[in-house]
Structure 1
Amino acid sequence: MEQITIDEADLRLLELLQTDASRSNQALAELAHLSPPTSLRRVKRLRALGLIEREVAILQPDRLAPLIGHGLTALVEITLERQGAEQLDAFESRVVPDAAVQQCYRVSPGPDFILVVLVADMPAYLALAQRLFTSDANVRNVKAFFSLKRAKFDPRLPLGATAGERGVTRHLLD
Structure 2
Amino acid sequence: MESLDAIDLALLDQLQADASLTNQALAAKVHVSAPTCLRRVARLRQLGLVERQVAILDRDKLAPLLGHGLQALVEITLDRQDDQAMTAFEERAVADTAVQQCYRVSPGPDFILVVQADDMPGYLQVAQRLFTADANVRNVKAFFAVRRAKFDPRIALPKRGA
Verify same fold: TM over 0.5: yes
- TM-score w.r.t. the length of structure 1 is 0.92
Task: Quote the sequence identity (%).
Answer: 66
RCO higher in structure (CA 8 A, sep ≥6): 1
1:114-134 CA distance string (max 9 Å, x none): 000110000000000000111
Matches of 1:4 and 1:68 in 2, distance apart? 45
Please state if 1:41 is matched with 2:33. Answer: no
1:54 aligned partner, one-letter code: R
Q: How far is the alpha carbon of 1:98 from its aligned partner? A: 0.8
Structure 2: 5+ residue stretches without partners = none
Residue 93 of structure 2: aligned partner: 95
Q: 1:129 aligns with which of 119, 127, 140?
A: 127
| 1:28 and 2:13 matched | no
Q: Which residue of structure 2 aligns with residue 51 of structure 1?
A: 49
> Which amino acid is the alignment partner of residue 131 of structure 2?
F
Instruction: Write out aligned runs for 1:77-116 (5 A).
Output: 77-116=75-114
1:144: how far off?
0.1
> After TM superposition, where is structure 1 displaced by more than 4 Å over at least 4 residues in a row?
none
Q: Which residue of 2 aligns with 1:66?
A: 64
Give the gaps of 5 or more residues in structure 1.
168-174
Mapped to 1, the partners of 2:110 and 2:28 lie a distance apart of 45
Give the superposed CA RMSD.
Answer: 0.7
What corresponds to 1:12 in structure 2?
10
Counterpart code for 2:46: A
Q: CA deviation at 1:72?
A: 0.3
Paired with 2:46 and 2:69, the residues of 1 have a C-alpha distance of 36
**Per-residue deviation at 1:4?**
2.3
Q: Deviations over 1:80-112 (max 9, x none)?
A: 000001110000011101111000000000000
